Amino acid sequence: MPAYFQRPENALKRANEFLEVGKKQPALDVLYDVIKSKKHRTWQKIHEPIMLKYLELCVDLRKSHLAKEGLYQYKNICQQVNIKSLEDVVRAYLKLAEEKTETAKGESQQMVLDIEDLDNIQTPESVLLSAVSGEDTQDRTDRLLLTPWVKFLWESYRQCLDLLRNNSKVERLYHDIAQQAFKFCLQYTRKAEFRKLCDNLRMHLGQIQRHHNQSTAINLNNPESQSMHLETRLVQLDSAISMELWQEAFKAVEDIHGLFALSKKPPKPQLMANYYNKVSTVFWKSGNALFHACTLHRLYHLSREMRKNLTQEEMQRMSTRVLLATLSIPITPERTDIAHLLDMDGIIVEKHRRLATLLGLQSPPTRQSLINDMVRFNLLQYVVAEVKELYNWLEVDFHPLKLCGRVTKVLNWVRDQAEKESDLQHYVPHLQNNTILRLLQQVAQIYQSIEFSRLASLVPFVDTFQLERSIVDAARHCDLQVRIDHTSRTLSFGSDLNYSTKEDSPVGPFLQNMPSEQIRNQLTAMSSSLAKAIQVIKPASILQEHEEQSQQAITAYLKNARKEHQRILARRQTIEERKERLESLNIQREKEELEQREAELQKVRKAEEERLRQEAKEREKERIMQEHEQIKKKTVRERLEQIKKTELGAKAFKDIDIEDLEELDPDFIMAKQVEQLEKEKKELQERLKNQEKKIDYFERSKRLEEIPLIKKAYEEQRIKDMELWELQEEERISNMKMERDKALEHKQRMSRMIEDKENFLSKIKAARSFIYEEKLEQFQERLVEERKKRLEERKKQRKEDRRKAFYHQKEEEAQRIHEEQLKKEREERERLEQEQREEEEREYQDRLRKLEEQERKQRARQQEIEERERRKEEERRAPEEKPSKVTHKSCVKCGSWRRGGEDRREECKDEREAPPRPRDQDRDGGEKSTWRSDKDKENPRRTKTEMDDDGWTTVRR
C-alpha cells in the first residue's frame, strides 16, 4: 500500500478526485490497495462507503475478478464484527449489476442471447458461422451491448453464492441470491447457466453436510434452514419446469426428497401440496402416466385431510382430474422388442421402486390398485356428472357397440372445457387408446371374426391407420390374439387353438373366454360335466355316500377336536411370535440405519481429520523444504570455499568475497567451473569421434553382406506368390462356371411362371381401371381449380413485385443522386487541398533557393578568408625574417587557425559574417542535431569532430 494512505478516508478522497477527472482505473487501484492492506483489517464505519465505491467502479469497468477479491477481503474484515454490512454491500453490488444489464437490454433490440454458454462465448463454430453469415450492424451492436453485461451479471451471482456458502449468518441472503439467479436464467433463457447453477447448489449442499463442524457452518437439523433450502429447491423445480429442462427438474425432485428425509418433522401441508403438483407435471412430461396419477391421488388425499376450507367446486375439479388421470394409465405397460430381448424387467422394477420412494410409498403402485383406491375412498361421488359414468363404461359395463359413442361424448365435453380446465386436455389421447383396447377385448369375446370397416365404424374418433396400429400394439403388448386378413379385410379373434394368452391378462369387463382360452380349461370342464351326469344317473347312492362322508367327517372332528384346538392355539402363538420377531427385525433395522448414519458421520469426521493431517503434512513439508534450502545454501557456501582454495578458483574469485559469491548467479559460477573441464571434454569428443568411425565402418560392411541374401529371399517369395495366385485363379474360374450353371437352371424353372404372372396382372389392372379413371377425373378437377387459384395468386404476386420494384428503383435513384452529390463535394475538397499543397510546395522551393544562395555566398567568403590567412602565413615564414615562437589555436566556431600573440578579444571574422548555428532540439524531444560547414563536409580528412557534455559538436582542423 502507498505510504501516504495512513487512513482509509484519505484513500476515498483520492479516489473521488480521480473520478472527478474521469480516471476510473486509478481510483479503483487506490481503493483496492486500501482493501487489500493488512493495516486496515479491523472493520470501521468508513469501510462500507469505500467498498460500495469500489464495487461501483468494478461494475462500471466490468472487472468481476477484482469485485470477487474485494468481496472476499471485506468478508474477512467484517465477518466477526458487522455481518449486516456484508449483506448490504452484496445486495448493492447485485443491484448495480442488474441495473446495468437492464439498461443494456433497453438499448439493445435483442431480447434473448443466441450464445449457448456465457463462459465460452467465442467457440470455433460461432467464429466460422459469423464469417459466412450476413450479420448486420444491429446484430453486432446488440451482441456488444447486451452479452458482456449478461455475462457479468451471471458471474456476479455465481461469485456471491460461492462467497456466502456454508455460512449460517448470511443464510437468508444466500437463498435470496439463488432465487434471483433462477429468475435471471428464466428472464434471459440461459439453460446452460441454469444447469451450472443447479450443480453448484447441489455441491454447496454436499459441502454443508461434509463440513458441519466449522464455527459458522449451517445446521441442516435446524427447521428454519430446512425450510429455506426447501423453498429454494421448489423455486428451482418451478424454473426447470418453466424452461422445460426435465432432467434438471427430476434432479430437483430428488434433492427435495433428500431434504424431506433429513427433516425429523413432517413438512408443512402447503409445501407438500406444491411439491406433489410440480412432481405430477414432471412425471407427465416424462411419459410416466402411472406415477402421474399416483401423485394426483396423494395430492387429493392430502387436500381432503388438511384443507378445512375446501369448496365443492375445488373438490369436483380435483376428483375429475384424478379420475381422468387414473383411467388414462395404459392398461398394459408398453414394452419394445429390445426390452423383451434384453430382459429389462429388473431394471424397470428398480426404477419404479425409486420413483415410489420419491412419493413416500413402500411399493410401486399399479393401475388396478389406483382404481381400487379410487373406488374404496368413494371418489366418484365428487366427480362432475358429465364424466362420472366414464369409469363404469371403461372398467365395469360390457357393451362394445355403444362404448366408443359414450366415451366420445365425455371427450367432447373435456375438449369444450379447454379454457376453464386446460390441464384435462392432455388426457384425451390416452383415453382414446384405452377405449380402443377395451373395445378390442370386448369384441374378441363376442365375435370370432369381424370386418375391418365394421370395427372402424365403432371407433369414430380415429382413422383406419391409427386403428390398425392400435390393433397391432394390442397383439404385441396385451397378448390379445387377433389376426388381420388384408385380402378379405377382416379380423379374426382366438382362431389359433394351439396358443393361449397368459393367465395374468388385464382386468376389465368380462363375458366369456375365447376358444383359444377355453382350450386351457377343457379337462376341468369335462370333469364338471361328468360329475353332473353322475348326479343325474345315480342320485340316491350319491346322497348316501355324502351322508357317510359327513358322518366320517363329524367323527374325525370329534376325535381330533382337542388336537385341532391345540393346533389353532399354537398357530396363534406362532403368529404372535412372528409379530414379535418382525418388530425385533424392525428395531434391528432402525438400529442398523442409525449405526450406518453414525458410520457416515464417522467417515466425515475421518475425512476432516485426514484433511487436517494433510494440511499438517503440507506444513511439515514446507518446513522440511526450508531446512533443505538452508542446508543447500550451507553446502553451496562450503563448495564455494573449496573452489576458492583451488588454484584456478583462487585466481577466478580472487577479488570477490565469499558472501558476494553466494549472491552471484549460479550460471556465472558454473561458467567458471566449466572452464576447468573444457580440456577433458575435448578429449572425450575425440574418443567418441573415433568410436563413431569404427561403428560406421562395421555397419556398412554388415549391410553389404546382407544384400545378396535379401535378393535370394525375394526371388523365393515371388515364386511362391505366383503359384498361389495361379491356384486361386483356377478356383475362381471354376466357381464362376458353377454359379452360371445354377443361374441358367433357375431361369428355366422360373420361366414357367411368366404366363401366370401376366394373367394375374391383367386381372388386377382390369379390376383397378375403373377406380383409376374415377380418381383421375377427380384429380383433373382439382388440378383445374388449383391451377386457377395459383394463376390468381401469381397475378397478385406479380403486381406486388412490380410495386416493390418501382419503389425500390425510386429509392436507388435517390440514393444515386445523393452519392453523386457527395462525390462532387469530395472532389472539390480534394482539389482545394491539392492546390494548397502545391502552393506550400512552391513556397518551400523558394525558401530553399534563397538558403542555397546564402550558403553559396558564405562559402565564397570562407574561401577568401582562408586565402588571406594562407598568404599571411607564407609571409611570416619568409626566410629573411627570424622565426618567432607562436602558438596556433583553432577557432571553436569557424575552425580557422590564429596565432597566440594576437589579441584574444578579437572577434572571429567568420563569427561576424557566418550565419548563426542552428539550435539543438529540446532535450525531451529526442536526438540533437549537429552542424558542420560545407567545406568541412567536402574535406573530411582535414576535420576532427568532438562532442562536449551538452551535446554540441565541435569541428577541429
The 10s digit of each residue's pLDDT in 683-719 is: 788 888 888 888 888 888 888 888 888 999 999 999 9
- Residue 725: predicted pLDDT: 94
Residue 607 to residues 219, 602, 621, 803: CA-CA distances in angstroms?
19, 8, 20, 79
Lowest mean pLDDT among 237-251, 554-568, 878-892: 878-892
At residue 154 the predicted structure's pLDDT band, cuts being 50, 70 and 90, is confident
- The predicted pLDDT at position 919 comes to 42
Cell of 592: 442398523
SS3 labels along 294-331:
HHHHHHHHHHHHHCCCCCHHHHHHHHHHHHHHHHCCCC
Q: What is the DSSP letter of 953?
A: E
Interior angle at CA 721, CA 720 and CA 727, nearest 5: 95
Nearest by Cα to 193 from 241, 154, 150, 161:
154
Q: What is the pLDDT of residue 892?
A: 41
Q: What is the CA radius of gyration of the chain?
A: 52
Q: What is the helix, strand, coil percentage profile of the chain, to 5?
A: 75, 5, 20
**What is the rounded distance in angstroms from the CA atom of residue 349 to the CA atom of residue 702?**
73
**pLDDT for the residue 822:** 92
Alpha-carbon distance 480 to 438, whole Å? Answer: 11
User: How high is the pLDDT of residue 957?
Assistant: 39
Cell of 423: 390441464
Query: Which pLDDT band holds residue 115 (cuts at 50, 70, 90)?
Result: low
Question: Average of pLDDT values for 549-568?
Answer: 86
Give residue 492's pLDDT: 82
Report the distance separating Cα 372 and Cα 326, nearest Å.
Answer: 11
Q: Contact, 445 vs 495, CB < 8 A?
A: no
- The confidence score (pLDDT) of residue 1 equals 39
Q: What is the mean pLDDT of the chain?
A: 78
* CA atoms of 329 and 395, how far apart (whole Å): 13
What are the tens digits of pLDDT across the range 271-289?
A: 888 888 888 888 888 888 8
Greater confidence (732 vs 260) lies with 732
Is residue 818 over pLDDT 60? yes
Q: Is 608 helix (H, G, I), strand (E, B) or coil?
A: helix
pLDDT value, residue 714: 92
Tell me: pLDDT of 571 over 80: yes
pLDDT for the residue 260: 79
Residue 793 has pLDDT above 50, yes or no: yes
At residue 924 the predicted structure's pLDDT band, cuts being 50, 70 and 90, is very low
Q: Are 890 and 936 in contact (CB under 8 A)?
A: no
Confidence tier at 314 by pLDDT (50, 70, 90): confident
Q: Residue 922 has what pLDDT?
A: 43
pTM exceeds 0.85 for this model: no
Report the pLDDT value the prediction gives residue 518, as an integer from 0 to 100: 64
Which amino acid does the sequence have at 322? V
**pLDDT score at 809:** 93
Indicate the pLDDT class of residue 794, thresholds 50, 70 and 90: very high
Mean pLDDT is highest, among 190-204, 399-413, 801-815, for 801-815
More confident residue, 498 or 791: 791
Q: What is the DSSP string of 884-935?
A: ----EEE-TTT--EEETTS-TTSPPHHHHHSPPPPPPPPTTTSPPP----HH
pLDDT at position 887 over 70: no
pLDDT reported for residue 885: 42
Distance of CA 595 to the CA centre of its chain: 40
Q: What's the DSSP call for residue 663?
A: H
- Nearest residue to 403 via CA among 372, 368, 431: 431
Mean pLDDT of 33-58: 80
Q: Which residue has the higher pLDDT, 941 or 517?
A: 517
Q: Average pLDDT of 786-811? A: 93
Mean pLDDT of 566-586: 88
Q: Which residues contact 42 (CB under 8 A, 6 or more apart)?
A: 77, 81
What single DSSP character describes residue 753? G
Q: In the structure, what pLDDT confidence band is assigned to residue 345 with cuts at 50, 70 and 90?
A: low
Query: Of 166, 142, 269, 287, nearest to 215 (Cα)?
Result: 166
- Section 538-556 average pLDDT: 80
Q: What is the mean pLDDT of residues 154-169?
A: 86
Indicate if the pLDDT at residue 165 is higher than 70: yes
DSSP character at residue 927: P
Whether 943 shows a pLDDT value over 60: the answer reads: no
Query: In the predicted model, is pLDDT for residue 265 greater than 60?
Result: yes
CATH 1.10.10.10 assigned to domain 409-536? The reply is: yes
pLDDT band for 516, please (50, 70, 90 cuts). low
pLDDT category at 797 given cuts 50, 70, 90 is very high
CA distance 921 to 814: 56
For the cut 70, the answer to whether the pLDDT of residue 120 exceeds it is no
Residues 432-437: what's their mean pLDDT?
86
Higher pLDDT, 599 or 341: 599
Least confident of 197-206, 474-483, 829-838: 474-483
Q: Tens digits of per-residue pLDDT, 893-907?
A: 444 444 444 444 444
In the structure grid, which three cell numbers stand for residue 379, read together?
Answer: 371418489
Q: Give me the pLDDT at residue 351, please.
A: 78
Percentage of the chain lying above the pLDDT 70 cut = 78
What span, in angstroms and rounded, lies between the C-alpha atoms of 934 and 851?
13
Q: Do 467 and 491 touch, CB atoms closer than 8 A?
A: no
With a CB cutoff of 8 Å and minimum separation 6, the contacts of 368 are: 507
Q: Checking DSSP bridges between strand 482-485 and strand 888-890, what pairing results, if any?
A: unpaired
Exposed, middle or buried by CB within 10 Å (0-12, 13-18, 19+), for 159?
A: buried
* pLDDT classification of 248: cutoffs 50, 70, 90: confident
In angstroms, how far is the first alpha carbon of the chain from the final one? 60
> Which tens digit of pLDDT belongs to each residue from 598-657?
888 888 888 888 888 888 888 888 888 887 877 777 777 776 777 666 655 665 555 555
pLDDT at 796 over 90: yes
Phi, psi of 931 (to 5 degrees): -135, 130
In angstroms, rounded to a whole number, what is the distance separating the alpha carbons of residues 94 and 64? 12
User: If you average pLDDT over each of 370-374, 598-602, 860-864, which comes out highest?
Assistant: 860-864
Summarised one tens digit per residue, pLDDT across range 391-400 is: 888 888 888 8
pLDDT at 801: 93
What are 62-81's pLDDT values in tens digits? 888 888 888 888 888 887 77
pLDDT for the residue numbered 514: 66
Average pLDDT for residues 334-342, to the nearest whole number? 50
